[in-house]
Amino acid sequence: MIKKNMHFDVPAADVIKSRHSVRTYTSEALSEEIKTKLTSYAKDIKGPFTSKIRLELIDDADIAAKAGGKLGTYGVIKGARAYIAGVMEKGEHSEEQLGYCLERLVLFATSLGLGTCWLGGTFKKSEFAKLVNPSENELIPIVTPVGYGGSRRSIVESLMRAGVGSDRRKPWSELFFNQGFDKPLKRSEAGRYEQALELLRLAPSASNKQPWRILRDGSTYHFYLKAAKGYSSAFGFNIQKIDMGIAMCHFETAALESEIQGNWEVRPQGFYPATEDVEYIVSWIGK
Ligand SMILES: Cc1cc2nc3c(=O)[nH]c(=O)nc-3n(C[C@H](O)[C@H](O)[C@H](O)COP(=O)(O)O)c2cc1C
């Protein structure tokens, strides 16, 4: 069953709409109070799968003591004083679990007025590893800076946003379908799920590729992955399955706020129709 204690103090729609990747930070450090809020919220996050993940806050004292005062991001992140590292044990659905749980923390941080930026590629893993000590079974697929966004974007940041079209999302007709991938689901047909689907559509994804494809069948929503060829395998873990977990988090958060109950289930392999270019991941069974 889905946990219900996941709302923020502000409406989830406002939080989701205000989140965007922040790559340029002011020098203001996180207060002890904010750090405690983040770590205690993180401790209580439960994902929909059983795989083990941990979310570690790395603050400026850690960075000074163990990383010589700076963590490498290939010049992408400027001024960040703290990070959250997403660590996972490799296993079934571990990427989706990490995506879901870390996005919940990202949205909580957003609700506190903090900026974040998912990083799956542009960070120096060996430097972060010194701070979070992954075991033999663990990977650090993702980190995010966490702090106060500066008022101006750096040139690198502006170029990156323009390069992947960060301000645009695919239209409903490319993402949502009704009982068959040949039948797009119109926004006017989504009924009480309109908000959940719209807030899923605004989710962040690696290189803004938006690999989520959702197939409705009554009040059941099947989540499929449309992988970009050769993209995921470049990382050593499936980065687009992390995108799927993020999308699940947005959908569920919005559904619960629309007072829709439901739970996640993985249906048996091959049970649901897939076309050649989509992979079935999970289903939301609405009540
Ligand atoms: C799993 C994941 C990995 C990402 N990796 C990087 C990265 O390595 N470097 C980077 O600058 N941005 C990265 N991003 C940020 C995306 O480019 C960004 O979320 C997307 O362009 C949409 O922009 P927005 O977050 O401002 O809405 C990543 C996002 C996700 C979800």
* Interval 25-50: pLDDT, tens: 999 999 999 999 999 999 999 999 99
Q: Give the H/E segment covering residue 284.
A: strand 279-286
Name the helix (H) or strand (E) containing 88. Answer: strand 83-89
Contacting residues for 258 by C-beta, under 8 A, at least 6 apart: 192, 193, 195, 196
Distance of alpha carbon 251 from alpha carbon 191, whole angstroms: 14
- Class assignment of domain 164-286? alpha beta
Structural tokens at position 230:
């050769």
19 or 274, which is more confident? 19
Q: What are phi and psi of 114, to 5 degrees?
A: -95, 150
Residue 88: which of 80, 76, 96 has the closest Cα? 96
Domain ranges of the chain: 12-153, 164-286
Instruction: State the SS3 of 252-268.
Output: HHHHHHCCCCEEEECCC
203 lines ligand 1 (CB under 6 A): no
Is 32 in contact with 57 (CB distance < 8 Å)? no
Average pLDDT over residues 193-204: 98
Query: Which tokens belong to 227?
Result: 């992988």
Residues 6+ apart with CB under 8 A from 59: 29, 30, 35, 81, 82
Q: Name, in order, each residue with C-beta under 8 angstroms of 151's C-beta and a sequence gap of 6 or more.
A: none
The tokens for 281 are 């991941």
Ligand 1 pocket, residue 242 CB under 6 Å = yes
Q: Name the helix (H) or strand (E) containing 222.
A: strand 220-225
Answer whether 243 contacts ligand 1 (Cβ < 6 A).
yes
Interacting residues of 237 by C-beta distance below 8 A, sequence separation 6+? 88, 90, 95, 139, 141
Residue-wise pLDDT tens digits, 98-122: 999 999 999 999 999 999 999 999 9
Q: What percent of the chain has pLDDT over 70?
A: 95
- Cβ contacts of residue 100 below 8 Å, gap of 6+? 47, 48, 49, 245, 246, 248, 249
Residue 273 pLDDT > 80: no
Out of 60-64, 209-213, 222-226, 232-236, pick the least confident. 232-236
Query: How far apart are the CA of 87 and the centre of ligand 1, in A?
Result: 17
* Greater model confidence, 231 or 204: 204
58 beta partners: 83
Q: Do domains 12-153 and 164-286 have the same CATH topology?
A: yes
Tell me what the pLDDT averaged over the chain comes to. Answer: 93
Contact by Cβ (8 Å): 252, 261: no
Instruction: Tell me if 119 CB under 6 Å of ligand 1.
Output: yes
CA 122 to ligand 1: nearest atom: 8
Count CA atoms within 13 Å of residue 247 on its CB side.
31
Report which ligand 1 atom has the smallest distance to the Cα of 117: 15
Class of domain 12-153: alpha beta
pLDDT in tens, 49-88: 999 999 999 999 999 999 999 999 999 999 999 999 999 9
| Ligand 1 pocket mutation, candidates 16, 98, 118, criterion most atoms within 8 A of CB | 118
Atom of ligand 1 nearest to the CA of 77: 11
Looking at residue 201, the DSSP 8-state letter turns out to be H
Q: Which pLDDT value is given to residue 5? A: 42
Count of H-run helices and E-run strands, the chain: 9, 9
